[in-house]
Amino acid sequence: MQIPDFECKIDAFCTINPSEDPPKVKEAISNVLPRIEIHISNNSLKATSQNLEVLSNIFDVIHSRKTHRVYRRCLTKNRRDDSTWLYLNKQAAYANTVVLCDEAEESPLGPIKIILTSKSIEQIIDWLVSEYK
């Protein structure tokens, strides 16, 4: 995987339910977004990075499962100006699996919301979901 040289802010958010163990929620985020800086406060988690390399696991899943069109459709549908977002299933992330959710309700304990913000958002989407990698 060759990582493009675009500036991009990557934010991930999720709630931590009373029934959940915060370190396990942190592990779920780390499984899908390796080497991202994670902060837990009260009943929520926020993770941030400026490095596209943290998207490597998502990139690998898109290309190994050939789910380019599904991810492209999601990222394009959710695009607003210089940003786009997607939901991932939190329980699947804990099991070290990347599973896209169309709706927040598809993840019973709440999803992980990942927001990508960049002046080059179209090129980042193209890199992430290109069929020719």
Across 32-63, b (16+ Cβ under 10 Å) vs e yields: bbeebebeeeeeebebbbeebebbbbbbebbb
Instruction: Give 102's contacts (C-beta < 8 A, 6+ positions apart).
Output: 74, 87
**What span, in angstroms and rounded, lies between the C-alpha atoms of 59 and 51?**
13
pLDDT score at 1:
67
pLDDT 10s digits, 10-61: 999 999 999 999 999 999 999 999 999 999 998 999 999 999 999 999 999 9
Q: What domains, with CATH codes, occur in the chain?
A: 9-129 (3.30.1440.10)
